[in-house]
Amino acid sequence: MLTGSTVGLRARHEEDVPILLTELWDDVVNSSRAEGSPWRPVSPGSDDPRLKADTTEDDVVRFSIVELAGGSLIGVATLWGIDTHNRFAHIGLGLLPAARGHGYGTDVVAVLSHYGFVVRGLNRLQIETLADNAAMLAAAERNGFVREGVTRSSAWVMGEFLDEVILGRLAADYQPRA
């Protein structure tokens, strides 16, 4: 398990799936804001890779986020779009509703940065988030990510186009948090 100051990132366990399905992926509004594709219901036992406890995809690593203090499941974290030639990947995360607003996102970004830069040897990490996602923007910037641009009206979310912010961080600028 990878650990930060408040969270741990571990492999997805079978018992995580029903909780994540109910509290994260069945939430139409939140899923529509987090995913790059339209929301659709996910049936238990389907081939949706998010429901798999173990995957063999080379370009994505899925983690379950647990609170270190009590060990409870609080969300998901992903390093995706991993390009081993260019040493580049994207960061994504989703917290269960009860875990939002407690600073976990900042710690998750720190742990994913450590995994990407130190464990995987990547040169660049990137985060794309909706322009109104103040929590993710703050978590990224607290971890040294720099706003690199805005893609205007690039995300179709619940009947409207929204802007997305692109943030990046390079391995040369990476300093682990104390």
Assign 42 a pLDDT band (cuts: 50, 70, 90).
confident
- The domain spans of the chain are 2-123
Q: Which two tokens stand for residue 83?
A: 């390009």
pLDDT at 29: 85
Please compute the mean of the pLDDT values over residues 128-156 and round it to a whole number: 97
pLDDT tens per residue across span 54-84 = 667 889 999 999 999 999 999 999 999 999 9
CA atoms within 13 A on the CB side of 123: 5
Best CA proximity match to 124, nearest among 105, 106, 145, 109: 145
The Cα 135–Cα 13 span in angstroms is 27
Q: What is the DSSP string of 33-78?
A: HHSSS------TTSS-GGG-SS---TTEEEEEEEETTT--EEEEEE
CATH of the domain spanning 2-123: 3.40.630.30
Inter-residue contact 21 to 51 (CB < 8 Å) = yes
